[in-house]
Structure 1
Amino acid sequence: MSLSQLGTPVGPMVRVHGGYANRMYRLDTDLGSFAIKELNLADRRWTYHVDDVFRFEQTAFAAGIPMPEPILYDDRTLVHRWVDGEKVPEAPVSAAYAFEVGEILARLHALDVEWPHDATEEPVARDWPELADRATTTGQPWAAELASHVETFEAIAQFVDTCERPGPVVLTHKDIQPWNLLARDGRPVLLDWELSGKLDLSGELGSTALSLAKGPGFDDVEPAIFRTVLDGYVAGGGTLPPPGPSWFVYLIGGWLGHTRWNLLRCLAGAEAQTGPDLQLSHEAVRNGVRGLPELFARLPHLETLLTRE
């Protein structure tokens, strides 16, 4: 992609570290500042519908959804206008912030955008015993922990594969987590739309509400913040689906696939030229090996968040 139409650079393009999927750079020119995202095409977990995602972003931006303005794209690169804001920590957000995220989701789901692809989730892998053996053989630092949780990971895979999704299916962002949000003047800005597509509504709401209502673990989940996201969704014109485990299956399944993908990158033993740094992949595997069994064990308790006391 030629970046010449972005203006004359006033300095070198600078790598912005920390991405868990792609690689990001900032480019400052005489026409402004831009986020240049280099897509990882080497070992993606899903098909990236770049044309449709960019069109969805343009529609959302035109409708006033708070997000970076989409500027350019090709099959390898995305360009957005740079947005300054505060990073959102992995901690319960304020009630006002949670409510507005819920409202934004309702507005997003109401957009009339043609999407020619069905709702799909990545196939559920069942090779956890083999992966644990390979991790042990290659001396991975988290191998022992993984081996001790193999049966749990098999049970998680079974749950993800068989849990009924009640619908409706909506076109949405699919990845509203603290690391994909900014706070600008205390209000939310939605980043990183690459996962956009159709998804069961309960999975989108459960994943979003839980991520905004908790810290790094699951000991400090604030039910009031969880419910406030849902209140915002209703206030924005949305209708809540029935309660049940489907509210959390997308979050669990996504984390399971993310852990396995990074695990395979670690087993390769060499840092890939695209996607996250090898150190970040090890961190992602450690977080998944420790966090997924805890999340799965707490599923019955999490379902109580869906009803008011």
Structure 2
Amino acid sequence: MFFSVKNLDHWMVPKRMLLASAIVALVTIALKTGAWWLTGSVGLLSDAMESLVNLASAVFGLMMVTIAARPADQDHPYGYHKAEYFSSGFEGILIVAAALGIIVLAVQRLFDPQPIAQVGWGLALSVGSSVLNGLLAWFMFRAADQHRSLALEADARHLVSDVWTSAGVVVGIALVSVTGWLWLDALVAIGVALNILKEGWRLIWRSSQGLMDEALEPEVLAVVRQVLDGFATQQLGSEAIRFDHLYTRKAGQRRFVDVHMHLPANWTLGRAAAMRGKVEQALMRELPGVRATIELLPSDVEVYFDENKALK
């Protein structure tokens, strides 16, 4: 078959998905702006403003993903993977700015309610844009999980927030048309702003944690420990392999593991290095792309760290 899940996965790479996000953002901006122009609803205007944020975020995310894909060099020996955190943080800042702008407009309209016209066409355009955003978000979540891309996940979460925003606006406008309470339109817009404000702050916080070398997720760390425990159970004569001082961190798509491996003191360096290679290969099988730094030590040697004191 020309189309298959495998072919779909081939196309769902971060750059292409973010480019698709920018194109969809342009389409939804046109649809939502048209809906606002037809109805005069401040709720639909707030929805259109959030789509502008979608466009800016997708373009900036595309730039950061391109930088993150650069190979390691002399100045950046660990690569450029953290660039994706800047994309997530930037998107969060834009969301917060858009939310504050929506609140200002909504408060003004709350004290000066305006009638809503051509509700049917306005709602149809808004619903159409939401369907586009929902479909794109589904594909982006799948691609983000496959490539471990924070930039894609951030954009997908924002698109989901946009879908819920549009749903709230549609409900608000429908209630206005039924009840005649014009102030509901502004109230819905404020509710929308508060919702996306929370999402913006969450993205900013998550990107800041990534820039500070956050540890691997508990479920990933459990996989690391399981692999190490498998080697630690091997009895090698009178002594066994043991591991300590396990540290992990993540930088964009890259995951790092640092650990000390204690081996019998009478082993040759070649034999110890071969065992280290087996541990590294086992980790990479379970966690593709992981970079493991394993320090070899004799079983009777201990190394202690005290980061609260200066090194002597």
TM superposition score normalised by structure 2: 0.25
Higher RCO (CA < 8 A, seq sep 6+): 1
TM superposition score normalised by structure 1: 0.26
Q: Say which structure is richer in helix.
A: 2
Q: Say which one has the larger Rg.
A: 2
